[in-house]
Structure 1
Amino acid sequence: MKFRKLTIENYKSFQFPTEIVFPMGEDGRSIFLIGGMNGAGKTSIMEAVTYCLYGGKADDIFRHINRREKAKGNANVAFEIVIEMDDGSELVVKRSWTAGAISEPRPRDLTERLVVVRDGKRVSVQNQEIWQDFIRAAIPPGITQFFFFDGEKIQEIAADDHSEVRLKSSLEAALGIQYINRLASDIIYIKQEERKGFVEISDEDLEFKQSELKREKSKLARKVQERESLRLELEGFKGQLDEARKRFEASFHAAPESREAMREQEKKRVSAANRLAQVESEIRGLCEKVLPFSIAGKVFDGIRRQIDAERELASGEAIKENAATLAKRIVRVVEEPEPIYTEKLSAERMAELERRIFRLLKEGDPGSDITKVLDLSERDAARVLNRMEALDGSDVFLLKPLLDEARGLEVQKRQFEGFGQGGALTSTERDLFDELQGMMEGCSTQIGRKTEQLRLVEEDILTLGKKIRDIEVEIEKLYEKHHISKEKAEFIEECDAIASVLNQFIVRLRKNKVHLLQEKTFEMYRLLSSRSGLIKDITIDDKTYEVRITDRNGHQIRKSSMAAGEKEVFAVSLLWGLAQTSELKLPIIIDTPLSRLDSTHRDNIVNHYFPNAGEQVVILSTDTEIDTNYYRSLKPRLSGAGCLEFDQRQELTTFRKGYFWEKNHG
């Protein structure tokens, strides 16, 4: 199936009928590039396809009617798609909304009309509903999400850490499993209705089991309702949390801190305060013990000089006191142990020498004018000198680094007491800060509580479902005790057999398709990922739909730990895998797929994904996504290109051939 032409009229900025023709390549494949700046109408193309195929609410259509035409009273909107079916036939789907000749139309005045033309023959009005069912069967609405998607859809899948529910619904829609389930349920219903027609239910055990089954089903219905209520509450709290975070960031220009972060901040503040108290205690201790003596340290040199001088004075006085004895000993030294002079001195000269030495020693140092101030004994002088030496090398020199450390701790303490504690905030800002923090903490608590409640309710639903199935088996056994005609019994048996075969078929189909899905997803992921060498395999559980990514060492890689670009590449790979697994040959329409990707992943998307996305690929891009380099790379594969030009003054979008910078080329 391929789209050959799309027409949009009076929708958003497409004021006048605008035709977009999708050319085909010589090999029957097509990659068609449509450029458009933000707001030019790329998203309108996606919406036009969806509305044309499946219709839409009158309120939504009316809200997006071109403003200029609506002001004139023109509330007519029309979409048309020309489709080439797989068998080569042509199908034209035209859907329009009109309010007739009403001067001031309102949404409720719009009337929807569907016209289907196949091979040039218009379908009669009475078959309109049948042809709507045909369109839905040919292009199932449940799976268009992975054929027609935009960058936001990729982001949504990439951000979903628990994608099992989404994956299950998407895959089962692609496989049509819901129709098989419905068929199996219809067969069971027919069997039960048939059984009611010929079995008289009067057995007390059967009545008891039927009433028990009714009670359990009623419990299950209440639990299902409770689950939906919890889901709504959970989504509400998540929305409130998100809103509070946005308000916090807008008000304080910073991301809100978690309770753990604030607790860690408080730990650091307490640690800094404790260390500051310890340092201040050490400073006080030094001040009490050695600081007074250290302040007097400037006079220590004078004391030392005085002690030395008094020691010399004491030595001189000792010499004077013993001058006579010392003079005799000095004179004896002249000749003992042997004479110093060649000529021996006479006794008179020796006596004269002794008298002179005595006078010299007795007079002492005439230049010495020392006053005894300290008058210390030799022992006390030594003790004083030792004490001053100890003070010079004491811990008092640690005082300066301790003071420096104290100043640094004061700065840290003030920082930790700053924003996290509201130190730099005004009273009004402090109140808003506390309000938002309380709101976020409350929402987080409620989210955790509701999540746990939801888990318990899910377990109750599973338990009740099993109990109901067990009761139904017991009822089946009770029914078997009744007399049933051979024909009726065979019919019921055939219904059971068909239902069993359908269930087996669903299990096998799901298992095979899940295996194919994981192969196709990993095939594209290896082409697109910058880390494909690190990824060994991607597996999907065929019962829980849990996605498991393993590295070369066999270790699991959590999706939440992957980089943003890798998550988006995984999302694109999963969409491609789902499209391939569905085996439906539908066109792929992608709106702004590269806006959030880095250069490496963009290269891989352009070179590997676009050429392999499908037989027909329509890319809606800005000039910064598919720029000149990527356009040059894509051009050999393109079947054509066009551009949406938006006139700001007239609020009008027109379509022309040729990409942005190919304005003058056909």
Structure 2
Amino acid sequence: MKFTRLVIENYKSFQFATEIPFPVGADGKSIFLIGGMNGAGKTSIMEAVSFCLYGTKPEVIYKNINRKELARGNTSVSFELVVELDDGSELIVKRSWSGGVVNDAKAKDLEERLVVVQDGKRVSVQNKQMWQDFIRATIPPGITQFFFFDGEKIQEIAADDHSELRLKKSLEAALGIQYITKLSEDVLYIKTEERRGFVQISDEDLEFKESELKREKSKVSRTIQERNEVKAELDAFKNQHQEAKERFQATFNAEPETRDSIREAEKARIQASNRLGQVENELKTMCEGVLPFAIAGRLFADIRKQIDAERETVQYEAIRDNAAILARKIVRVVEEPEPIYREKLSAEKMAELEQRIFRLLQQGDSVNDSIKILNLSDRDAARVLQKMETLENSDVFLIQPLLEEKQELAVQVRQLEAALQPGIASDSEKELFDQLQAEMESCLTQIGRKTEQLRLLEDEILALEKRIRDIELDVEKLYEKHHVSKEKAGFIEECDAIANLLNQYTVRLRKNKVHLLQEKTFEMYRMLSSKTGLIKDILIDDKSYEIKMIDRNGHEIRKSSLAAGEKEVFALSLLWGLAQTSQLQLPILIDTPLSRLDSTHRDNIIKHYFPNAGQQVIILSTDTEIDKDYYRNLQPYLSGAASLEFEPRQELTTVKQGYFWEQ
């Protein structure tokens, strides 16, 4: 089976009917490479194939209608997949949803339509369920996860040491065991129903076990329903996060900041803000303590002058108060110890001279007399002069550097705030920025919660199924305690024989299939792994499907001890082994399989996995996964290549022939 063409219309960024052909090479194989940057529509192609084959809820379709077309009132979405079947016949499956002529149609108004065309003839689809069953039988949905997968599926398988146990039902479907198991269960069900018709089942233990079995089955159904709802919610949060991220990129032309970078920037802003507060407090303290005195600094010269003037006034007052004594001493100095002039003054002249000096001292210098405003003692005057000198030499001169530092810190805080909100020019953009950041943070939180909730529900389902098997065994034992009638005994024995034969066949088939799966998985692992000498063998339990890796010393290697790249290589090997063991010739559709692998593993996958994955391989890749070097290595195997070109402004994806650099 091969896909030959896919058409997507009015879904996400595929606004118009977009055809993607899948050519076949001369050797009959088809390895087709589709390049696209993140957000260009690679995931949309995966979804289009799944929705076209198996359908989905109208709410999912409505949520992903192209926004421009939805704004115009166009709610018609369609997918068309052309398939070449193994017998060479052509099958066209077209599934569409439309709100009809309803104005402002909502999700509940969408009606689904299925059209099937086989060998150019439209098939009657009056019984849509019949053709849906035909599609499901041709391409079983239970195993498509091993043929249509992306990096997340690879990570799911590589997640922990026992992730394969969660895939038991899907593994059995891929190995062809599911239908035989179902047939065996049906035979046992018929046997049980026949027993109910003639055996008296009045035993209290049997009634209790049956009611207990019913309760546990009901509990499983509710848990499965809850699991599906949580999974849908998880997908919704992932889509919401992706949409918010794309809106952020389109609006602000920048990648959303990670939590760590936002926290670092916020830490720097807080530190700068705190330092700004400290500087402001220092300025305030300085202004409260020193600045009031410093403001009076222009009066210091006048104060000093006044102190000097008052000191002189005090001196002159002292001279006037002691004028008589001073005059007498001065006159005596003229005569004693020896006259300083030729003629000796008479007593009258001496008395007159003393009187003149007295009057002179008594008069003093009236010009230097000043009003005593301060009236300070010499001690207080000295203290005032010292205080003024201290103020003049104080920290008041640090005010200017602090003011400059305050200005620089204010600019730094504004720059950090702007860095936390890039490209924001208005309050509305700031509000949108905060809203998108909060929405992405909330989505990531919910994704973590829902992922953990989903894991717990899966564990609970596994435990309940084991509990049901134990109860069924108990019920079976209780039934065997009752005698069956002769008329029904042969029939029941035949049912037992058939069921036993089917069980034996299932055991042998499972053992053979699991053995083949081991060989195929290890075969691919040896080609892809960079540590082929480390692992000697891969063993798969034919009952539980638990996988063990054995080293050359015979010791088990836990998957959790492998490097991330080795885990993903193991997951790819298991997927390839399942595809080979199932013997179903289905196309392999892979989305971004190399994003987390190193160059060695990528080389091995390019050389060994893609060329041998299947008769048809469709690879969805970015330009950093399959770059120019890997493209040259892969090109000899390619039947064709195309690129998804996304125009952000128009939110439109178109398909161009040729890989990125072949345009």
Residues 119-142 of structure 1 deviation map (CA, whole Å, 9 limit, x = unaligned): 111111223211110110111111
Given that 1:164 and 1:544 are in contact with CA atoms closer than 8 Å, whether structure 2 keeps it comes out as no
Residues 468-509 of structure 1 deviation map (CA, whole Å, 9 limit, x = unaligned): 4244234224133xx322xx3332222222222222222222
Give the one of 210, 214, 222 matched to 1:214: 210
Given that 1:191 and 1:492 are in contact with CA atoms closer than 8 Å, whether structure 2 keeps it comes out as yes
Q: Match for 1:634: what amino acid?
A: L
Structure 1 segment 124-273 matched on structure 2, within 5 A: 124-197=124-197, 199=198, 201=200, 207-217=203-213, 220-221=216-217
Distance 2:66 2:510 in 1: 45
Given that 2:169 and 2:178 are in contact with CA atoms closer than 8 Å, whether structure 1 keeps it comes out as no
CA-based RMSD of the aligned residues comes to: 3.5
| Equivalence for 1:436 | none
Given that 1:550 and 1:556 are in contact with CA atoms closer than 8 Å, whether structure 2 keeps it comes out as yes
Q: Greater CA deviation, 463-472 or 544-553? A: 463-472
Structure 1 segment 344-355 matched on structure 2, within 5 A: none
Q: Match for 2:207: what amino acid?
A: S
Query: Mind listing any 5+ residue stretches in structure 1 that lack a counterpart?
Result: 239-245, 255-439
Distance 2:155 2:96 in 1: 32
Measured at CA, do residues 92 and 219 of structure 1 come closer, stay the same or move farther in structure 2, by a change above 3 Å?
closer
Q: Give the C-alpha shift of residue 553 in structure 1.
A: 1.4
Asked if residue 476 in structure 1 is aligned to residue 480 in structure 2, the reply is: yes
| Equivalence for 1:2 | 2
Measured at CA, do residues 463 and 158 of structure 1 come closer, stay the same or move farther in structure 2, by a change above 3 Å?
closer
Show structure 1 runs of 4+ deviating over 6 A: 225-232, 250-254, 457-461
Distance 1:459 1:226 in 2: 14
Given that 1:216 and 1:468 are in contact with CA atoms closer than 8 Å, whether structure 2 keeps it comes out as no
Distance 1:472 1:25 in 2: 56
Given that 2:41 and 2:653 are in contact with CA atoms closer than 8 Å, whether structure 1 keeps it comes out as yes
Measured at CA, do residues 467 and 6 of structure 1 come closer, stay the same or move farther in structure 2, by a change above 3 Å?
closer
Measured at CA, do residues 108 and 225 of structure 1 come closer, stay the same or move farther in structure 2, by a change above 3 Å?
closer
Secondary structure of 1:135's partner?
Answer: helix
Given that 1:209 and 1:475 are in contact with CA atoms closer than 8 Å, whether structure 2 keeps it comes out as no
Distance 1:90 1:104 in 2: 38
Measured at CA, do residues 530 and 10 of structure 1 come closer, stay the same or move farther in structure 2, by a change above 3 Å?
same
Given that 2:217 and 2:468 are in contact with CA atoms closer than 8 Å, whether structure 1 keeps it comes out as no
Structure 1 segment 622-633 matched on structure 2, within 5 A: 622-633=622-633
Distance 1:622 1:616 in 2: 20
| Equivalence for 2:102 | 102
Distance 1:49 1:231 in 2: 24
Given that 2:156 and 2:163 are in contact with CA atoms closer than 8 Å, whether structure 1 keeps it comes out as no
Residues 141-191 of structure 1 deviation map (CA, whole Å, 9 limit, x = unaligned): 111111111112212222233213234122112134333333222222223
| Equivalence for 2:70 | 70
Q: Give the C-alpha shift of residue 571 in structure 1.
A: 0.9
Residues 585-604 of structure 1 deviation map (CA, whole Å, 9 limit, x = unaligned): 10001111111111101101
Asked if residue 51 in structure 1 is aligned to residue 51 in structure 2, the reply is: yes
Distance 1:136 1:662 in 2: 38
| Equivalence for 1:646 | 646
| Equivalence for 1:260 | none
Given that 1:213 and 1:472 are in contact with CA atoms closer than 8 Å, whether structure 2 keeps it comes out as no
Q: Match for 1:17: what amino acid?
A: A
| Equivalence for 2:83 | 83
Secondary structure of 1:142's partner?
Answer: coil
Structure 1 segment 651-662 matched on structure 2, within 5 A: 651-662=651-662
Distance 2:91 2:468 in 1: 48
Residues 21-63 of structure 1 deviation map (CA, whole Å, 9 limit, x = unaligned): 1110111111111111111111111110000000011111011
Measured at CA, do residues 623 and 178 of structure 1 come closer, stay the same or move farther in structure 2, by a change above 3 Å?
same
| Equivalence for 2:507 | 507
Given that 1:536 and 1:550 are in contact with CA atoms closer than 8 Å, whether structure 2 keeps it comes out as yes
Distance 1:639 1:561 in 2: 39
Q: Match for 1:5: what amino acid?
A: R
Structure 1 segment 563-582 matched on structure 2, within 5 A: 563-582=563-582
Residues 230-280 of structure 1 deviation map (CA, whole Å, 9 limit, x = unaligned): 999x99xx9xxxxxxx999678679xxxxxxxxxxxxxxxxxxxxxxxxxx
Q: Give the C-alpha shift of residue 68 in structure 1.
A: 0.8
Q: Give the C-alpha shift of residue 229 in structure 1.
A: 12
Q: TM-score with structure 1 length normalisation? A: 0.63
Q: Match for 2:106: what amino acid?
A: R
Q: Greater CA deviation, 185-194 or 630-639? A: 185-194
The number of equivalent residue pairs is 457
Q: Give the C-alpha shift of residue 192 in structure 1.
A: 2.9
Q: Match for 2:200: what amino acid?
A: I
Measured at CA, do residues 464 and 86 of structure 1 come closer, stay the same or move farther in structure 2, by a change above 3 Å?
closer
Measured at CA, do residues 229 and 193 of structure 1 come closer, stay the same or move farther in structure 2, by a change above 3 Å?
closer
Given that 1:220 and 1:465 are in contact with CA atoms closer than 8 Å, whether structure 2 keeps it comes out as no
Q: Match for 1:508: what amino acid?
A: R
| Equivalence for 2:322 | none
Distance 1:629 1:130 in 2: 48
Distance 2:505 2:607 in 1: 38
| Equivalence for 1:93 | 93
Q: Give the C-alpha shift of residue 110 in structure 1.
A: 0.5
Q: Match for 1:112: what amino acid?
A: E
Given that 1:73 and 1:102 are in contact with CA atoms closer than 8 Å, whether structure 2 keeps it comes out as no
Measured at CA, do residues 27 and 221 of structure 1 come closer, stay the same or move farther in structure 2, by a change above 3 Å?
closer
Query: Mind listing any 5+ residue stretches in structure 2 that lack a counterpart?
Result: 235-256, 266-444
Distance 1:459 1:90 in 2: 44
Given that 2:125 and 2:131 are in contact with CA atoms closer than 8 Å, whether structure 1 keeps it comes out as no
| Equivalence for 1:37 | 37
Distance 1:18 1:120 in 2: 21
Given that 1:168 and 1:545 are in contact with CA atoms closer than 8 Å, whether structure 2 keeps it comes out as yes
Distance 1:521 1:578 in 2: 8
Measured at CA, do residues 479 and 180 of structure 1 come closer, stay the same or move farther in structure 2, by a change above 3 Å?
same
Given that 2:29 and 2:616 are in contact with CA atoms closer than 8 Å, whether structure 1 keeps it comes out as yes
Distance 2:650 2:52 in 1: 26
Distance 1:638 1:178 in 2: 35
Secondary structure of 2:539's partner?
Answer: strand
Q: Give the C-alpha shift of residue 549 in structure 1.
A: 0.8
| Equivalence for 1:281 | none
Distance 1:460 1:652 in 2: 47
Q: Match for 2:206: what amino acid?
A: Q
Q: TM-score with structure 2 length normalisation? A: 0.63
Secondary structure of 1:617's partner?
Answer: strand
Secondary structure of 2:659's partner?
Answer: coil
Measured at CA, do residues 138 and 544 of structure 1 come closer, stay the same or move farther in structure 2, by a change above 3 Å?
same
Measured at CA, do residues 248 and 625 of structure 1 come closer, stay the same or move farther in structure 2, by a change above 3 Å?
closer
Secondary structure of 1:96's partner?
Answer: strand
Residues 377-399 of structure 1 deviation map (CA, whole Å, 9 limit, x = unaligned): xxxxxxxxxxxxxxxxxxxxxxx
Secondary structure of 1:82's partner?
Answer: strand
Measured at CA, do residues 111 and 632 of structure 1 come closer, stay the same or move farther in structure 2, by a change above 3 Å?
same
Q: Greater CA deviation, 536-545 or 498-507? A: 498-507
Identity percentage over the alignment? 65
| Equivalence for 2:593 | 593
Distance 2:462 2:86 in 1: 43
Secondary structure of 2:483's partner?
Answer: helix
